[in-house]
Amino acid sequence: MKLTGNLLIGAHEIPATEGTLKALNPATNQFIEPDFALGGVAQVDQAAILADEAFDAYSHTSLAERSAFLERIADNLDAASTALAARASLETGLPEAQLQGEAAKAATQFRQFADVVRKGRFLQLAIDPAQPERQPRPRMDHRLQKIAIGPVAIFGASNFPISYSVAGGDTASALAAGATVVLKAHNAHPGASEIQARAIRQAVQDSGLPEGVFSMVRGSGNAIGEALVDHPLIKAVTFTGSEQGGMALYRRAQLRPEPIPVFTEMTSVNPTFILPLALAERGASIGDGFAERMLVNVGQACLKPAILIAIEGPGFTALRAAMIKRVTEAAARPMLTPGIHAAYVSGLDHLQNVGATQVAAGLAAHGDLDGQSALLEVDGQRFLSETALAHEVFGPAALLVKVRDEAEMLAVARTLRGQLSAAMHLEAGDLGLAQRLLPVLERRTGRIVVNAFAHPQEVSFATIHGGPFPASSDSRFTSVGMTSIERFLRPVSYQGFPDALLPEALRESNPLGVPRSVDGQ
């Protein structure tokens, strides 16, 4: 596929209005052709107006039409997967084979949401039939369904250039809900973004949908993102990235004349607790597995296990030695961007400045943007006294927290901020401690894993990718999995409607054959 570098606003190809950029290959620290257009406030306005004009028609497409549209996107992504993985690898330094898997995952998500739409459960249909004879007051007929919230703005993520980017779960779930999408592409992988955007836009055209169903904009600095959040036609925002960036968007959205929801996925250290009998039985294998998961994507995964808490006792020496061995043997690999690399180096320095000791380092870096892995260690008392030790360092580093006893382990757990996930490794004899630890973790995370690690994560109905602040800005919702569609829905009740005027899904004969609650049953 030939890349033009244009902004894709509806059916329009928009050349640069605010300058251009080139993608950077982090493996060579060299720029890659071609130039990619940067836009500004005017292009955001154009995309938002098209999205608003398309919304009524698109949000009222039939379930069959919308599911077929999502499947066309999946087919287009499959057709482009080889070129997409190759370009994404150039722009990220990640292995091409890994990105082939990510492209397949993106297509799978669209097919999963097509199935969600086809079955109609997401509408959460409820009918309370009229009771004209009820005393002392008759009841009118009430019928409820969920509808799309409106045009939404989606910010592409940097660390997963396909499955959390233009064709990621945010876009899939928003389109499944019936929302139109204005997507801000991440500047770190503009070529991969264009390939994905063209796959979606082609599906819009082939489905005969209004052009404003999907647009992709790109800009430099914060102005274009701020314009998206500020635009009065945008009704919700999603963001994956740093706490600083996510909260800036969140606060801005609350200051609008019409505040809107901002669904952020921000920061997490995904703590792992090794309970005593599991430590004694499996310390070495747990330590090796933890370090192996920590190093995936050069540590640039939102579910990277970054902090391991274990009681100093039987098995601790083996756990520590296995972690040191895995980290020491790890090759330095390119990180995604110069900014991420610089923040990683700075974060490691800060951990040591506040009391952590580096006990292992990986193989030396050769490229300018290579991330050298690191293992740091601290005792429980120091961890409890220095809150900065619990902050995320985005990259191939982990912190081993050595606690004295069960009480100190529980105290450490209570100091943690909100997390995307937490893990416990345990044996049957550890259940008593696990039962005391569980409610502490439930208050601090959206997903708890036993005898495994938080990464990777299934995309399913039961999965949750979210948690209390600062993991996300609204712990009631997930940004991964089939229920992520709920972010883009709101309820509407229809009272006393004639059957012919009702939405098709709520008509008396249930012509769509979708599940409905009738009088609570």
Q: Which residues are catalytic?
A: 265, 302
Q: Which two tokens stand for residue 233?
A: 């036609």
DSSP 8-state class, residue 270: -
Q: Which residues pair with 493 in a beta bridge?
A: 144
Q: What whole-number distance in Å separates Cα of residue 391 and Cα of residue 385? A: 13
Query: What φ, ψ does residue 120 adopt, rounded to 5°?
Result: 75, 5
Interior angle at CA 137, CA 131 and CA 138, nearest 5: 20
152-155 and 181-184 beta bridge pairing:
parallel
CB < 8 Å & 24+ apart, contacts of 201-208:
201/8, 201/11, 202/72, 202/76, 203/69, 203/72, 203/73, 203/75, 203/76, 204/69, 205/11, 206/72, 207/65, 207/68, 207/69, 207/72
Tokens standing for residue 374: 């690191």
Rg (CA), the chain: 25
Distance from C-alpha of 197 to C-alpha of 185, rounded to nearest angstrom: 9
Return phi, psi of residue 217, to 5°: -115, 165
Say which residues have a Cβ less than 8 Å from residue 95's Cβ, sequence separation at least 6. 89
- E strand map for 229-342: 236-240, 262-265, 272-274, 307-311, 333-334
On the CB side of 495, CA atoms within 13 Å amount to 3
User: Look-up: residue for tokens 């329009």?
Assistant: 12
